[in-house]
Amino acid sequence: MEPAQPRGRPRNPALREGILAAARDEFLARGLDGASLEAIARAAGTSRVTIYSYFPSKEELFHASVNQVVVDAVVIAEDELERLPVAQQLTTLAKAFLDSIATPRAAAQIHALYQSSKKSPQASAAFYASGPQQILDVVERTLTRLASSGALNIPNIEFAAEQFVALVRGNEQMRALLSLPPARKARQRQAYVDSSVQLFISGYAP
């Protein structure tokens, strides 16, 4: 691997976005190991050296171009969440989670990580920290707040957060990973989310 170049503030935001777009396409098509920085540079209309001036390593470029999609998908305004009824708070979290895992892009991202997980475990760790763990953290904070207010009776927040995520996930992520169409769309997906939220609330009712 070429030595990392000094990182300073990006000089050209448009070029940085172009590099990220080209990298995303290359990584999702070829995985972390198979992706070529030369190909990314050509597609972005720049050079390998310039890429290193923005991203010190191939792994960091992977994280910024591919994992960041997950990060953006699960950004939730928690201060606004607090003002909603309990069921609506959990529904908002459930929908954000499904949007981050049950899409063709998310499936392609996980495939790309799987191909490279043994050689580049740090990329998988970065994905988990920025995607699944971030969702769990938001769910845990929300459940802690709801339990403290007496809205729910939750003896073990960590267990409950993981149970909530697993309940909402259903089979949708597996279908996406197998390139199968979603089991539910629009109203049916909403009905499934609503049913999952109500089941969870019933299980932890005060």
pLDDT digits (tens, 9 = 90+) for 1-13: 444 444 445 578 8
- C-alpha distances out from residue 167 to 81, 91, 191, Å: 20, 12, 13
Higher-scoring residue by pLDDT: 81, 67: 81
Is the domain of 78 the same as that of 61? no
Rounded Cα distance between 154 and 82, Å, is 18
4 lies in some domain: no
pTM of the model: 0.71
Q: Is residue 3 part of a domain?
A: no
Average pLDDT over residues 184-191: 88
Highest mean pLDDT among 17-26, 131-140, 179-188, 196-205: 196-205
Could you tell me if 37 and 90 lie in one domain?
no
CATH label of the domain that carries residue 35? 1.10.10.60
Q: Would 6 be classed as within a structural domain?
A: no
Place of tokens 């708070």: 89
CATH number of the domain that residue 79 is part of: 1.10.357.10
Regarding whether 91 and 18 lie in a shared domain, the answer is: no
Is residue 62 left, alpha or beta, with left meaning phi > 0 and alpha meaning psi from -120 to 50?
Answer: alpha
At 3 the pLDDT is: 43
119 in a structural domain: yes
Tokens 């994905």 identify what position?
127
Reported confidence tier of residue 130, pLDDT bands at 50, 70, 90 = low
Query: What range does the domain containing 171 cover?
Result: 74-203
Round to whole Å and give the CA distance between 63 and 60. Answer: 5
Q: What is the 3-state secondary structure (H, E, C) of the chain?
A: CCCCCCCCCCCCHHHHHHHHHHHHHHHHHHHHHHCCHHHHHHHHCCCHHHHHHHCCCHHHHHHHHHHHHHHHHCCCCHHHHCCCCHHHHHHHHHHHHHHHHCCHHHHHHHHHHHHHCCCCHHHHHHHHHHCHHHHHHHHHHHHHHHHHCCCCCCCCHHHHHHHHHHHHHCCHHHHHHCCCCCCCCHHHHHHHHHHHHHHHHHHCCC
Average pLDDT, the chain: 83
> Per-residue pLDDT tens for 99-115?
777 777 777 777 676 66
Domain-embedded: residue 7: no
pLDDT of 196 above 80 = yes
pLDDT score, position 157: 97
> Taking residues 35-53, what's their average pLDDT?
94
